């Protein structure tokens, strides 16, 4: 008996000898020590936060870690990415389709993470495109762009893509008013003829899919930025405007004349009810709606042709103008939803409106006239107060949980910390140089994670080693946990770090996808085993159904292709192991390489122009035998009688074993 | 019913849990696999020890050193490896032992209890030897055209890759750990219970 118990004890002990998976890293405090210690993330350790920093004119979205500032990944969104094959392979090309046809580039601006009950839920991240108005949705499990929807009746989609506190809507705006519908009229007839659309896109709570629920047809101002109300102001959306002068030329002067422009306050809940009651009208439009099917991992582009439009007179009591000095740029709502902070970029003042006062002013009809049928509320009736001369050129504000606001000043190149209630400056810190947006993780939510703040700067000049006339733009990390802001780190960014969204790593890292299951691969051209690989001729098209696994292609010898053929490589990565992508490149193909993740299929087109035997190979160093992962396609002359033949190790795939 | 009978019956029926839980686990850790690969060995099949697709991934890595394919369903169906006879024989042995144990329990004879224990021990020893044998075969019978052919620095002979039956061994870049898994503890529990049944039966007799 004793010996049996002894055996059991030993056995239990032995079981615990099995090596456990690497446990998640404990969060490193950054409360003491110098700046270097605070941003040092030791090799193999993880950052505390993800920072999704817009690539601006690169059209992409870059993923960094905070506090280290290390770049992890660039997610291709609005621009082709030859590195990954995005926008080049047959599966992703439809993602970049628009009503203007295929557009290889975009100008990405404001990422915003989906929310539930006013807190970040980490399901999706949305980002807008300014030039060809679009909004994209990116999965935070796969870090891939899953949907891009074009916004009709708009130009310069800048006041976008901010999300309401239960991810009911994501919004799009119009920075460049245009004739709606577009028509051939003299530019000088701008006033009264040019209009803007504020679009509310409903988000499907399960799939995340967006559809344009309604557009509000607004006067032809420039709608610059926007933010949703939250908490008590949930149900409202606030947009800043400039060029209420409706100038059409030399705007830098002509759109800077009015002492006050407006903040447009939109009660979207009320408009929702009006729309449900049939208010408004249908308009014929044309816009692309591109969706990514995760099962077939193929995008389809659908051209939509109608949108529901409401005019302000259709929705009385739902839209108001709040006079705000002076060409306000940023509009930000504090975590409680009470304070609406507008940055009058040409005034050296921060205007704080009160949601409670606004409600009362509406009730009391404290109007100061109207503009295009939209009531203008009296400034004094809505204004909580003004922070005079905190700096020059205020642009954007984010908040902490302690009642403080942090505002960027482009002209005086600094971030100013101030108390919203007291309207008193607490601290200021220079940035290098000319800061645009700033970001506190969860800054556009009821629950900011207020340990770090990232300032995103447009100009770097002498901050880094020079690289010719074109130098990097930059982000700067601050510790904001104390009374004084402390500059911790400079790190260069891709493109223009326009705006960013941050989220604690703990919310995302465990659900990040590792591989795609081959059995779930529903791509019509997928192969599940090497035995399924084949080459099929259909007229002058040759379809190669190929597989890749460490470390060979199957088939890797292909004959019977002729000059003038259109060759489709449908390639499936059969790997089912984490971090084993394979790449594919074909000599002379007028397209990019493809990176194919485990379990996925992608298609590259090659139109051989010369007779010969042409190699292809794996571009991603996949294994010790990566250099051996190569193959040949024999190309015969047009009209030659070379039959289709495909082999692996000189046998038809699947028959060799 | 007499307590020793119940314990004998329960003890032998516990063996049926071998159909549910793995018997042995081999864990492979390497720089490229900080989250280790795991191979669970059941009496009927192999299963992923840690992450999805571990078995196939181990099988894939094995081809570099020319190791034979693992007896997975996919490989057997493909015809690249013969079906593993043990996956048929061992379940039969387990069922027979369980039925026999229940039968002996109903009879309630301690000599039969002892016989059952001896049968269990014999089966276990044969099983372990068979396991060792297979590990030897897998480790030594390598494809002469293997991609990686590394000679032992000392002996100058081709390196063998026999995983340990029990314990740790470094094999190229992999740290290989091999330890009993859940089912072995159920065998132990079964063994203990039957011993206890035997003891109770014995005590009963002395009381009389």
ipTM of this predicted complex? Answer: 0.88
pLDDT at B176: 97
Q: Is A19 on the interface with B (CB under 8 A)?
A: yes
| Beta strand A71-75 pairing with A61-66 | antiparallel
According to DSSP, the residues that pair with A196 across neighbouring strands are: A218
Mutate which: B36, B49, B53, B63, vs A, most A CBs within 10 A: B53
| Mean pLDDT, residues A611-623 | 96
Kindly report which listed range (A18-27, A617-626, B135-144, B171-180) carries the lowest average pLDDT score: A18-27
| Mean pLDDT, residues B75-85 | 93
Helices B110-140 and B182-207 cross at an angle (nearest 10°) of: 160
Confidence of residue A12 (pLDDT cuts 50, 70, 90): very low
Smallest Cα distance from B80 to chain A, Å: 6
Q: With a cut of 70, say whether residue A13 has pLDDT above it.
A: no
Q: With a cut of 50, say whether residue A390 has pLDDT above it.
A: yes
Cβ(B25)–Cβ(B208) below 8 Å: no
pLDDT at B205: 76
Q: Is B150 on the interface with A (CB under 8 A)?
A: no
Cβ(A376)–Cβ(A324) below 8 Å: no
The CATH class that applies to domain A49-248+256-511 reads mainly beta
pLDDT at A32: 47
DSSP, collapsed to helix, strand or coil, labels residue A618 as: coil
A518-647: which CATH number, 3.30.565.10, 3.90.1150.10, 3.40.50.720, 2.60.40.420?
A: 2.60.40.420
Percent of chain A whose pLDDT exceeds 90: 92
Name every chain A residue with its beta carbon within 8 A of the beta carbon of B78: 531, 657
| Mean pLDDT, residues B108-137 | 96
pLDDT at B157: 85
pLDDT at B8: 96
Smallest Cα distance from B79 to chain A, Å: 8
Asked if B36 and A19 come within 8 Å (Cβ–Cβ), the reply is: yes
| Mean pLDDT, residues B76-92 | 95
Neighbouring residues of A374: CB distance < 8 A, sequence distance ≥ 6? A219, A264, A312, A319, A320, A321
Asked if A11 and B78 come within 8 Å (Cβ–Cβ), the reply is: no
Q: With a cut of 60, say whether residue B94 has pLDDT above it.
A: yes
Give the tens place of pLDDT for each residue, A401-415: 999 999 999 999 999
| Beta strand A534-538 pairing with A541-549 | antiparallel
Both tokens assigned to A429:
């810190």
pLDDT at B156: 84
pLDDT at A33: 59
Smallest Cα distance from A491 to chain B, Å: 29
pLDDT at B152: 84
Q: Which residue of A has its CA nearest to B186?
A: A8
According to DSSP, the residues that pair with A375 across neighbouring strands are: A370
Q: Is A12 on the interface with B (CB under 8 A)?
A: yes
Helix (H), strand (E), coil (C) string for A109-147: CCCEEEEECCEEEEEEEEEEECCCCEEEEEECCCCCEEE
| Mean pLDDT, residues B18-42 | 96
pLDDT at A31: 45
Give the tens place of pLDDT for each residue, A18-35: 444 444 333 334 444 589
| Mean pLDDT, residues A329-338 | 97
pLDDT at A654: 79
Enclosing H/E stretch for B121: helix B110-140
Q: With a cut of 90, say whether residue A655 has pLDDT above it.
A: no
**Domains A49-248+256-511 and A518-647 in one fold:** no
Beta-carbon contacts below 8 Å between A and B: 64
CA distances (Å), origin A396, targets A52, A156, A328, A433: 17, 19, 10, 15
Looking at every residue in chain A, the average pLDDT score rounds to 94
| Beta strand A61-66 pairing with A534-538 | unpaired
Confidence of residue A657 (pLDDT cuts 50, 70, 90): very low
Q: Which residue of B has its CA nearest to A549?
A: B60
Name every chain B residue with its beta carbon within 8 A of the beta carbon of A530: none
Q: With a cut of 70, say whether residue A296 has pLDDT above it.
A: yes
Q: Which residue of A has its CA nearest to B189?
A: A8
Q: Look at residues A148, A145, A157 and name the one whose alpha carbon lies nearest to residue A52.
A: A145
pLDDT at A152: 98
Confidence of residue B155 (pLDDT cuts 50, 70, 90): confident
Confidence of residue A326 (pLDDT cuts 50, 70, 90): confident
Q: Look at residues A101, A108, A99, A100 and name the one whose alpha carbon lies nearest to residue A81.
A: A108
Percent of chain A whose pLDDT exceeds 70: 95
pLDDT at A203: 98
| CB-count exposure of residue A48 (10 Å: 0-12, 13-18, 19+) | buried
Provide DSSP, A25-86: PPPPP-SSS-HHHHH---TT---SEEEEEE-GGG--EEEEEETT--EEEEE-SSS-BTTTTB
| Mean pLDDT, residues A248-253 | 93
Length of chain B: 208
CA distance B111 to A374: 99
Enclosing H/E stretch for A549: strand A541-549
pLDDT at A21: 43
Q: Is A549 on the interface with B (CB under 8 A)?
A: yes
Work out whether the CA dihedral A531, A535, A536, A541 comes out positive or negative: positive
Kindly report which listed range (A13-22, A521-530, A609-618) carries the lowest average pLDDT score: A13-22
Q: Is A624 on the interface with B (CB under 8 A)?
A: yes
DSSP, collapsed to helix, strand or coil, labels residue A182 as: coil
Neighbouring residues of B206: CB distance < 8 A, sequence distance ≥ 6? none
Q: Look at residues A212, A312, A325, A219 and name the one whose alpha carbon lies nearest to residue A263.
A: A325
Looking at every residue in chain B, the average pLDDT score rounds to 94
Asked if B192 and A624 come within 8 Å (Cβ–Cβ), the reply is: no
Total-model pTM: 0.91
Work out whether the CA dihedral A560, A563, A564, A568 comes out positive or negative: positive
CA distances (Å), origin A468, targets A57, A298, A460: 19, 41, 13
Q: Is B20 on the interface with A (CB under 8 A)?
A: no
Work out whether the CA dihedral A321, A325, A329, A332 comes out positive or negative: negative
pLDDT at B208: 59
Confidence of residue B67 (pLDDT cuts 50, 70, 90): very high
| Mean pLDDT, residues A182-197 | 97
Q: Is B35 on the interface with A (CB under 8 A)?
A: yes
Name the residue ranges covered by the structural domains of chain A: 49-248+256-511, 518-647
């Amino acid at each position: 008996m004793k010996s049996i118990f002894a055996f059991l004890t030993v056995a239990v002990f032995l079981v615990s000898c099995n090596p456990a998976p690497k446990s998640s890293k404990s969060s490193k405090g950054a409360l003491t020590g110098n700046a270097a210690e605070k941003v040092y993330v030791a090799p193999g350790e993880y950052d505390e936060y993800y920072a999704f920093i817009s690539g601006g004119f690169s059209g992409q979205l870059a993923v960094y870690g905070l506090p280290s500032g290390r770049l992890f990944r660039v997610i291709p969104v609005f621009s082709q990415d030859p590195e990954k094959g995005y926008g080049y392979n047959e599966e992703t090309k439809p993602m970049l389709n628009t009503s203007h046809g295929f557009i290889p580039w975009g100008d990405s601006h404001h990422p915003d993470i989906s929310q539930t009950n006013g807190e970040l839920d980490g399901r999706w991240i949305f980002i807008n495109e300014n030039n060809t108005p679009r909004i994209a949705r990116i999965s935070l499990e796969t870090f891939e762009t899953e949907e891009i929807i074009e916004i009709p009746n708009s130009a310069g989609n800048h006041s976008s893509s901010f999300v309401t506190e239960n991810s009911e809507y994501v919004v799009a705006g119009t920075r460049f008013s245009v004739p709606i519908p577009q028509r051939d009229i003299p530019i000088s007839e701008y006033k009264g003829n040019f209009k803007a659309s504020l679009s509310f896109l409903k988000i499907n709570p399960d799939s995340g899919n967006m559809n344009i629920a309604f557009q509000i047809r607004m006067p032809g101002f420039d709608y610059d930025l926007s933010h949703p109300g939250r908490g008590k102001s949930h149900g409202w959306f606030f947009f800043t405007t400039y060029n209420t002068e409706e100038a059409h030329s030399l705007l830098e002067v002509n759109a800077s004349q009015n002492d006050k422009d407006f903040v447009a306050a939109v009660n979207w809940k009320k408009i929702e009810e009006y729309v449900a009651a049939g208010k408004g009208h249908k308009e014929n439009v044309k816009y692309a709606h591109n969706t990514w099917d995760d099962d077939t991992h193929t995008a389809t582009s659908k051209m939509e042709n109608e949108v529901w439009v409401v005019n302000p007179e259709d929705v009385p009591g739902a839209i108001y103008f709040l006079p705000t000095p002076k060409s306000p740029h940023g509009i930000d709502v504090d975590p409680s939803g009470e304070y609406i902070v507008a940055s009058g970029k040409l005034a050296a003042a921060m205007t704080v409106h009160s949601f409670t006062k606004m409600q009362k002013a509406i009730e009391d009809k404290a109007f100061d006239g109207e503009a295009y049928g939209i009531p203008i509320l009296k400034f004094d009736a809505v204004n909580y107060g003004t922070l005079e001369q905190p700096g020059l050129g205020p642009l954007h504000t984010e908040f902490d949980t302690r009642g403080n606001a942090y505002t960027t000043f482009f002209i005086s190149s600094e971030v100013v910390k101030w108390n919203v209630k007291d309207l008193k400056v607490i601290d200021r810190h220079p940035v290098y140089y000319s800061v645009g947006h700033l970001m506190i993780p969860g800054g556009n939510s009821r629950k900011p994670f207020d340990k770090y703040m990232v300032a995103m700067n447009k100009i770097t000049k002498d901050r880094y080693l020079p690289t010719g006339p074109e130098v990097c733009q930059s982000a700067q990390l601050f510790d904001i946990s104390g009374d004084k802001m402390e500059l911790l780190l400079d790190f260069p960014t891709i493109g223009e770090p326009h705006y960013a969204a941050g989220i604690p790593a703990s919310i995302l890292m465990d659900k990040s996808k590792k591989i795609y299951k081959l059995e779930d691969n529903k791509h019509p051209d997928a192969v599940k085993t090497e035995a399924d690989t084949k080459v099929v001729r259909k007229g002058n098209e040759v379809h190669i159904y190929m597989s890749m696994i460490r470390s060979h292609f199957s088939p890797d010898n292909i004959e019977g292709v002729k000059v003038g053929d259109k060759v489709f490589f449908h390639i499936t990565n059969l790997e089912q192991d984490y971090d084993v992508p394979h790449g594919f490149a074909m000599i002379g193909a007028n397209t990019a390489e493809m990176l194919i993740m485990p379990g996925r299929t992608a298609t590259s087109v090659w139109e051989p122009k010369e007779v010969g035997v042409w190699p292809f190979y794996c571009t991603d160093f996949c294994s010790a035998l990566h250099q051996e992962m190569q193959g040949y396609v024999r190309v015969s002359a047009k009209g030659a009688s070379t039959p289709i033949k495909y082999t692996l190790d000189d046998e038809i795939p699947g028959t060799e074993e | 019913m007499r307590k020793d009978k119940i314990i004998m019956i329960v003890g032998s029926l516990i063996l049926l849990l071998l159909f549910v839980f793995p018997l042995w686990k081999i864990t492979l850790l390497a720089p490229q696999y900080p989250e280790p690969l795991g191979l669970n060995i059941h009496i009927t099949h192999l299963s992923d020890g840690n992450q999805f697709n571990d078995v196939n991934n181990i099988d894939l890595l094995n081809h570099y050193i020319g190791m034979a394919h693992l007896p997975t369903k996919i490989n057997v169906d493909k015809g690249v490896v013969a079906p593993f006879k043990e996956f048929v024989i061992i379940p039969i042995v387990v069922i027979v032992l369980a039925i026999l144990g229940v039968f002996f329990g109903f009879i309630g004879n301690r000599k039969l209890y002892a016989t059952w224990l001896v049968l269990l021990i014999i089966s276990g020893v044969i099983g372990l030897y068979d396991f060792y044998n297979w590990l030897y075969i897998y480790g030594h019978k390598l494809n002469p055209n293997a991609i990686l052919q590394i000679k032992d620095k000392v002996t100058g002979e081709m390196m063998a890759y026999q995983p340990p039956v029990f314990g740790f061994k470094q094999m190229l870049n992999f740290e290989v750990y091999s330890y009993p898994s859940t089912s072995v503890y159920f065998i132990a529990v079964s063994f203990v219970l039957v011993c206890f049944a035997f003891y109770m039966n014995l005590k009963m007799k002395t009381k009389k």
